[in-house]
């Protein structure tokens, strides 16, 4: 449990049971657990293979309720007179099944949805059928058609708030509102001077891409007044970035926004809502710090600070408390899904120097290359008391480099080179073990854990399933979902199955430093007599619910993974969980069609070639049949290794 920091990043939703399996506690209640390994076995029985995303509806519900409760208690504690609603920006994950769950749970909690583009708007309007009070916020770039749709949706009775991001949005809004005789609720996005921090810092501040400067805000209010529509300006909004690690940035930005709200209200705007945007972060590494993968606050503190800031500024200005909206997409859904993937195999570097063999080799070849003798000395020196580990390691690096030069000049045989590498790894391993036992690693040895680590090959595509790790170094908790009572004896990096050297994970969460270069894993167990096969070994990647699914790409044509929805099952019967939904991943045929291939055309051309080979005698008829069968069924199969 401590190795992987489950308690730190798990937020009460994850734990380890007596069988050493990872469990999910969707309601943070240890009596109601779902054993992930059991779920996986159940999926295997149903022929749903890994990699697979598992979403937990009950966990989603708990998380949304937690946000609701945090704001409710902040409202109570501060005697705040306004209401609160959390708005789910569908861009965080637009998958229909998830959005429907957020909508269903959210409608009971008074929450809403946000759309940031035309397709998202159309999806959100369809999703909110018969929910006229559910708030819908529309951010992002808008054209005339977008705005006309919003105006007509207002006429339909929807609680929809188009947010003006550029002045031209306002002109179109006024034009269509007049044309259809509608009094829309208009929001404006302000460019506060306060900025967030970290990766999304540029989303806020004066030079941010979106929003109106204070000069433009005043101009916008004047423009609305000229058209007799100042009362339609009901909401002020901002967004200073995602994953804001330090609560101080949120406090100062909300403070500034509340002042802008009060000033505009005093000038005659019909404001009644403040939207503080997204940014509530997730403690991915469990360090509770302001590091890029963590946050130094929790949901209750976030809620209390926002409510308190808005209240104090409005009280000082003698204005009623507005409704507060937050667009906390990441905070709503991140915990609710995870990815499980299987390890296909591993490579490791030999760390036993095999000195007898090296000496025998020197005798056979009748050569005693100086660098090899020095490497043997270095290895033996590490057994001396009070050895200077760094100095010995430097000598070993020098000897290895010299051996490589000799090899490149043709003075060292391949066997001698192999002995050199073996000796060098052995020196490195021994130096590392000794240095680690002494405490912190000296700078010159800092890369050794990674250099000496194993490579575990894992059945997934980093680009499809963890795009933020690839693009912005976002860390996610990763750990085995079973064998958790066994000491993990190996240190490894993870390589995916794409043909891209970037397709690997070599940064892992670490509570004590920004990250660690290797992950502690268990040695693979092998079964079988003649042909040895590794026993299944599964890794989970957690807190994956926000952004990853939709940002993923088709590198090497690895498509969407399978997704299953699992919920807690109280009824008697086998297992404590129900499989509510299975969304099959992309087939090969589907990913090929995304890049304009017609699978039938491909099958036809393959058939023609096979027939030619049969005629020419290169393939027998049964061989030809087998090849075509494989080709045909491959088209319908999963894009990952099965
Ligand atoms: C305007 C706006 N609102 C809300 C969000 C969601 O932010 P988060 O998921 O960090 O809460 C974003 C995302 O960057 C955004 O651009």
Q: Which ligand 1 atom sits closest to the C-alpha of 242?
A: 10
pLDDT in the model for residue 341: 98
Q: What would the pLDDT profile of 210-251 be if each residue is shown by its tens digit?
A: 899 999 999 999 999 999 999 999 999 999 999 999 999 999
Residue 118 covered by a domain: no
pTM here is 0.92
Alpha helices in 128-246 (DSSP H): 144-156, 167-180, 214-226
Q: What would the pLDDT profile of 133-159 be if each residue is shown by its tens digit?
A: 999 999 999 999 999 999 999 999 999
Q: Is 139 in the pocket of ligand 1 (CB under 6 A)?
A: yes
Q: Please count the helices (runs of H) and the strands (runs of E) in the chain.
A: 22, 23
The protein residue with its alpha carbon nearest to ligand 1, atom 8, reads 278
Q: Is 329 in the pocket of ligand 1 (CB under 6 A)?
A: yes
**Count of the separate structural domains present in the chain:** 3
pLDDT in the model for residue 512: 80
Could you tell me the distance, in angstroms and rounded to a whole number, from the CA of residue 630 to the centre of ligand 1? 45
Residue 97 covered by a domain: no
Tell me which residue range forms the domain holding 214.
137-282+299-327
Q: Is 211 in the pocket of ligand 1 (CB under 6 A)?
A: no
Q: Decide the pairing of beta strands 490-495 and 504-505.
A: antiparallel
Same domain, yes or no: 304 and 376: no
Could you tell me the distance, in angstroms and rounded to a whole number, from the CA of residue 334 to the centre of ligand 1? 13
Alpha helices in 318-454 (DSSP H): 329-333, 355-365, 370-381, 389-408, 414-438, 448-451
pLDDT in the model for residue 574: 56
Same domain, yes or no: 163 and 305: yes
- Cα separation, 90 vs 137, in Å, equals 11
Same domain, yes or no: 207 and 310: yes
Q: Rg of the chain over CA atoms, in angstroms?
A: 30
CATH number of the domain enclosing 418: 1.20.58.930
Question: Among the three residues 426, 450, 474, which one is the final residue of a domain in this structure?
Answer: 450
DSSP-based three-state secondary structure for 226:
helix
Could you tell me the distance, in angstroms and rounded to a whole number, from the CA of residue 112 to the centre of ligand 1? 14
Q: Which ligand 1 atom sits closest to the C-alpha of 244?
A: 10
Same domain, yes or no: 164 and 313: yes
Q: Which residue has the tokens 């009644």?
A: 272
Q: Is 352 exposed, middle or buried (0-12, 13-18, 19+ CB in 10 A)?
A: exposed
283 CB neighbour count, 10 Å cutoff: 24
Q: Which ligand 1 atom sits closest to the C-alpha of 331?
A: 11
Could you tell me the distance, in angstroms and rounded to a whole number, from the CA of residue 214 to the centre of ligand 1? 21
Same domain, yes or no: 359 and 322: no
Hey, what are 35's tokens?
């054993």
Same domain, yes or no: 360 and 323: no
Same domain, yes or no: 175 and 228: yes
pLDDT in the model for residue 198: 64
**Phi, psi angle pair for 556, to nearest 5°:** 60, 15
Residue 602 covered by a domain: yes
Residue segments in the chain with a per-residue pLDDT below the cut of 70: 1, 194-208, 572-575
pLDDT in the model for residue 278: 97
Q: Is 74 in the pocket of ligand 1 (CB under 6 A)?
A: no
Residue 495 covered by a domain: no
Could you tell me the distance, in angstroms and rounded to a whole number, from the CA of residue 253 to the centre of ligand 1? 15
């Amino acid at each position: 449990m401590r190795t992987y920091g489950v308690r730190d990043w798990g937020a009460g939703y994850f734990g380890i049971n007596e069988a050493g399996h990872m469990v999910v506690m969707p309601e943070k209640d240890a009596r109601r657990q779902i054993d992930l390994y059991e779920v996986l076995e159940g999926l295997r029985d149903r022929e749903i293979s890994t990699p697979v995303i598992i979403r937990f509806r009950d966990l989603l519900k708990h998380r949304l309720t937690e946000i609701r409760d945090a704001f409710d208690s902040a409202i109570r504690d501060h005697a705040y007179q306004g209401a609160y609603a959390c708005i789910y920006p569908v861009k965080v994950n637009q998958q229909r099944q998830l959005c429907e769950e957020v909508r269903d749970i959210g409608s009971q909690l008074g929450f809403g949805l946000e759309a940031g583009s035309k397709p998202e708007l159309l999806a959100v309007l369809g999703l909110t059928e018969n929910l006229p009070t559910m708030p819908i916020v529309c951010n992002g770039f808008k054209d005339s058609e977008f705005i006309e749709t919003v105006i007509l949706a207002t006429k339909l009775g929807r609680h929809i708030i188009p947010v003006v991001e550029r002045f031209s949005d306002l002109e179109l809004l006024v034009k269509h509102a007049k044309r259809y005789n509608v009094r829309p609720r208009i929001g404006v996005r302000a460019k506060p001077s306060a900025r967030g921090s970290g990766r999304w810092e540029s989303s806020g501040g004066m030079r941010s891409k979106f929003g109106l400067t204070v000069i433009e805000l005043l101009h916008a209010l004047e423009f609305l007044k000229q058209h007799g529509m100042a009362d339609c300006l009901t909401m002020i909004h901002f967004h200073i970035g995602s994953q804001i690690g330090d609560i101080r940035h949120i406090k100062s930005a909300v403070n500034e926004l509340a002042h802008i709200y009060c000033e505009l209200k005093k000038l005659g705007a019909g404001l009644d809502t403040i939207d503080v945007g997204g940014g509530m972060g997730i403690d991915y590494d469990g360090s509770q710090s302001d590091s890029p993968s963590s946050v130094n606050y929790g949901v209750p503190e976030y809620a209390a600070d926002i409510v308190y800031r808005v209240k104090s500024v409005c009280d000082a200005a003698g204005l009623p408390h507005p409704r507060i909206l937050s667009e906390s997409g990441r905070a709503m859904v991140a915990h609710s899904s995870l990815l499980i993937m299987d390890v296909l195999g591993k490579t490791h570097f030999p760390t036993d120097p095999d000195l007898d063999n090296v000496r025998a080799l020197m005798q056979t070849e009748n050569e005693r290359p100086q660098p090899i003798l020095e490497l043997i000395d270095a290895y033996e020196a590490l057994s001396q008391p009070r050895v200077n580990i760094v100095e010995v390691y430097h000598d070993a690096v020098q000897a290895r480099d010299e051996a490589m030069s000799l090899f490149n000049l043709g003075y060292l045989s391949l066997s001698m080179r192999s002995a050199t590498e073996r000796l060098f790894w052995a020196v490195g391993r021994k130096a590392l073990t000794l240095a680690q036992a002494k405490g912190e690693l000296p700078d010159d040895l800092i890369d050794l854990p990674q250099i000496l680590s194993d490579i575990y090959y894992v059945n997934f595509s980093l680009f499809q399933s963890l795009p933020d790790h690839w693009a912005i170094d976002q860390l996610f908790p990763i750990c085995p979902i079973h064998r958790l009572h066994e000491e993990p004896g190996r240190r490894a990096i993870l390589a995916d199955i794409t043909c891209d050297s970037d397709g690997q994970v070599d940064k892992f969460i670490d509570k004590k430093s920004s990250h660690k270069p290797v992950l502690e894993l268990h040695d693979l167990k092998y079964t079988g007599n003649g042909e040895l096969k590794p026993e299944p070994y599964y890794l989970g990647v957690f807190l994956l619910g926000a952004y990853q699914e939709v940002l993923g790409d088709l590198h090497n044509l690895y498509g969407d993974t399978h997704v299953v929805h699992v919920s807690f099952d109280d009824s008697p019967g086998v297992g404590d969980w129900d499989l509510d939904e299975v969304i099959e991943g992309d087939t090969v045929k589907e990913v090929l069609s995304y890049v304009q291939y017609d699978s039938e055309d491909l099958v036809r051309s393959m058939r023609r070639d096979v027939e030619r080979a049969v005629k020419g005698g290169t393939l027998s008829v049964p061989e030809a049949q087998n090849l075509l069968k494989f080709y045909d069924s491959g088209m319908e199969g999963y894009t990952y290794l099965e």
